[in-house]
């Protein structure tokens, strides 16, 4: 992607226009939003602020049309051929809990092994821990190597008797890309169902969900240029049809009597109550935006930035990148720098108008495994440019001056 294209894309993001001095390097936490996403939310409230699937008047029909069109857009982005298999949720966490409470309670029995990796965000760990406690199941672990890649030599052993494998597509700490197809293929050959946490994958990499081999995929709108409080669960029709609903109330029913009810068809069976309509329209607009840029271009642009960042930051004395080889790297750069505590670094960088994340990144077991209380993490998106990396390098050197004589 040429510099010209990068810059024209930057002007799509009002926050960058409002704060031209800002260097935003925390997109793994949440991304900035392009104007079209803000416009989709605003125009819902200004043009068709009615509830969906209920009204018989034109404004409600228009809101419903936009809502379902947004579902088609996100389905297109992830390569799902059946939008009815795309369930709106409030985010990745919500989508994973939906699976844990429905499919999980139906299918995980006492003693069943659930296989996770040591890379998992608490969102893809605590729901399974909790399910394991409720069902007296057991957790098994695919271990990460120090660079965030996964140790798969003993995978077949771990998969013996496993009912579920739940793992992340891209680590939010290391930016390491998991070998999704290989893990899915081996897990399914062993008879396990697979859930993919795609929170850090969908925003950065081309996605063909039906070819990846997973049974469930969860991701968030707010990390892929969409609004907070939005997300999606994708699954295969036969699995979703066999699962009981997660939440109960309006819209998810077909007929209700005083003592019983029947449930609606997919996807509505899993979408009880009035949803975040404006947010969903925003997430649809985010998907359209990414489709317009092209996910192969997003990946190429981020690879270019990662290459540059690894060279530029790697040449700083005392800079240590925690991460995989470049071809397995996406989005997030975790690092340690000259023994400076990540929180101090983040605070000093903030004085230079640079936003990075510092801490355990909701991965406390992983931090324990690598023997750290936290890391500094700079994470990228399509609106970042090489000049952002240059600013980070200069600010890191400046920060090191503060500690001169204290730490080194």
Ligand X SMILES: Cc1ncc(COP(=O)(O)O)c(C=O)c1O
Residue 262 CB burial class (10 angstroms; 0-12, 13-18, ≥19): exposed
3-state secondary structure of 28: coil
Query: Of 47-55, 117-125, 280-288, 390-398, which segment contacts ligand X by CB under 6 A?
Result: 117-125
184 or 340, CB closer to ligand X? Answer: 184
Q: How far apart are CA 240 and CA 234, in angstroms?
A: 9
Is residue 220 a contact point for ligand X (CB under 6 A)? yes
Query: Of 58-66, 118-126, 204-212, 372-380, which segment contacts ligand X by CB under 6 A?
Result: 118-126
The contacts of residue 366 (CB under 8 Å, 6+ apart) are 118, 119, 120, 144, 173, 360
Of residues 121, 204, 269, 391, which one binds ligand X by CB under 6 A? 121
Q: How far apart are CA 120 and CA 139, in angstroms?
A: 13
Site map 152..191 versus ligand X, x via CB under 6 A: ----------------x---x-------------------
Query: Of 18-26, 121-129, 159-167, 347-355, which segment contacts ligand X by CB under 6 A?
Result: 121-129
Q: Nearest distance from residue 254's CB to ligand X, in Å?
A: 30
Q: How many residues are present in the chain?
A: 408
Token duo for residue 233: 């669960």
Of residues 123, 178, 193, 381, which one binds ligand X by CB under 6 A? 123
Of residues 6, 197, 215, 271, which one binds ligand X by CB under 6 A? 197
Is residue 384 a contact point for ligand X (CB under 6 A)? no
Residues 37-96 that bind ligand X (CB under 6 A): 91-93
Is residue 330 a contact point for ligand X (CB under 6 A)? no
Of residues 135, 200, 334, 375, which one binds ligand X by CB under 6 A? 200
Query: Of 59-67, 116-124, 296-304, 390-398, which segment contacts ligand X by CB under 6 A?
Result: 116-124
Q: Nearest distance from residue 147's CB to ligand X, in Å?
A: 17
83 or 231, CB closer to ligand X? Answer: 231
Token duo for residue 353: 């108008």
**312 in active site:** no
CB 230 within 8 A of CB 90: yes
Q: CA dist 362 to 28, 196, 280, Å?
A: 12, 17, 25
Q: How many residues bind ligand X (CB under 6 A)?
A: 12
| 248 phi/psi in degrees, rounded to 5 | -120, 140
Of residues 86, 114, 125, 199, which one binds ligand X by CB under 6 A? 199
48 or 287, CB closer to ligand X? Answer: 287
The contacts of residue 252 (CB under 8 Å, 6+ apart) are 245, 263, 264, 268, 269, 270, 271, 272
Going across the sheet that includes 357-359, the strands are 319-322, 332-337, 375-379, 357-359
74 or 396, CB closer to ligand X? Answer: 74
HEC string of 130-199?
HHHHHHCCEEEEECECCCCCECCCCHHHHHCCCCEEEEECECCCCCEECCHHHHHHHHHHCCCEEEEECC
Q: Nearest distance from residue 68's CB to ligand X, in Å?
A: 23
Q: How far apart are CA 399 and CA 345, in angstroms?
A: 7
Query: Of 18-26, 101-109, 195-203, 306-314, which segment contacts ligand X by CB under 6 A?
Result: 195-203
Q: Nearest distance from residue 129's CB to ligand X, in Å?
A: 15
85, 86, 362, 363: the active-site residue? 362
200 or 330, CB closer to ligand X? Answer: 200
Say what angle helices 386-403 and 342-351 make with each other, to 10 degrees: 110
Q: Nearest distance from residue 8's CB to ligand X, in Å?
A: 28
Q: Nearest distance from residue 289's CB to ligand X, in Å?
A: 18
Query: Of 51-59, 193-201, 288-296, 306-314, which segment contacts ligand X by CB under 6 A?
Result: 193-201
3-state secondary structure of 276: coil
Q: Nearest distance from residue 377's CB to ligand X, in Å?
A: 11
Q: How far apart are CA 120 and CA 98, in angstroms?
A: 18
Chain contacts with ligand X (rule: CB under 6 A): 91-93, 121, 123-124, 168, 172, 197, 199-200, 220
Catalytic residue positions, numbered: 362
């Amino acid at each position: 992607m040429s510099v010209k294209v990068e810059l024209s894309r930057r002007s799509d993001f009002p926050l960058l226009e409002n704060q031209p001095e800002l260097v935003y390097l925390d997109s793994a936490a949440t991304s900035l939003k392009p104007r079209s996403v803000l416009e989709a939310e605003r125009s819902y409230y200004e043009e068709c602020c009615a509830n969906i699937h209920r009204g018989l008047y034109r404004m409600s029909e228009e809101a419903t049309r936009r809502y379902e069109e947004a579902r088609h857009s996100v389905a297109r982005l992830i390569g799902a051929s059946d939008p009815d298999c795309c369930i709106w949720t409030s985010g990745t966490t919500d989508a994973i809990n939906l699976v844990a409470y429905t499919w999980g309670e139906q299918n995980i029995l006492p003693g069943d092994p659930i296989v996770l990796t040591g890379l998992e965000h608490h969102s893809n760990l605590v729901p399974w821990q909790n399910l394991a406690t409720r069902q007296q199941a057991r957790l098994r672990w695919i271990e990460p190597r120090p660079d965030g890649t996964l140790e798969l030599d003993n995978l077949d052993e771990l998969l013996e008797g496993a009912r579920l494998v739940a793992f992340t597509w891209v680590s939010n700490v290391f930016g390491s890309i998991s070998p999704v197809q290989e893990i899915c293929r081996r897990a399914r050959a062993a008879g396990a169902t697979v859930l993919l946490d795609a929170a850090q994958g969908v925003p950065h990499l081309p996605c063909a969900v039906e070819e990846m081999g997973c049974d469930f995929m969860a991701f968030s709108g707010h990390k892929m240029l969409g609004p907070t409080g939005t997300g999606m669960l994708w699954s295969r029709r036969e699995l979703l049809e066999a699962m009981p609903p997660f939440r109960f109330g309006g819209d998810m029913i077909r007929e209700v009597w005083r003592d019983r009810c029947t449930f609606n068809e997919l996807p509505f069976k899993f979408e009880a109550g009035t949803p975040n309509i404006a947010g969903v329209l925003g997430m649809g607009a985010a998907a359209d935006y990414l489709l317009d840029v092209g996910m192969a271009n997003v990946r190429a642009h981020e690879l270019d930035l990662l290459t540059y960042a690894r060279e530029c930051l790697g040449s700083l004395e005392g800079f240590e990148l925690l991460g995989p080889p470049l071809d397995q790297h996406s989005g997030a750069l975790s690092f340690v720098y000259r023994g400076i505590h990540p929180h101090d670094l983040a605070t000093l960088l903030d004085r230079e108008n640079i936003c990075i994340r510092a801490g355990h990144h909701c991965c406390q077991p992983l931090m324990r495994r690598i023997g750290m209380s936290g890391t500094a993490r700079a994470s990228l998106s399509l609106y970042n440019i090489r000049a952002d990396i240059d600013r980070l390098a200069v600010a890191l050197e400046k920060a090191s001056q503060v500690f001169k004589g204290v730490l080194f």
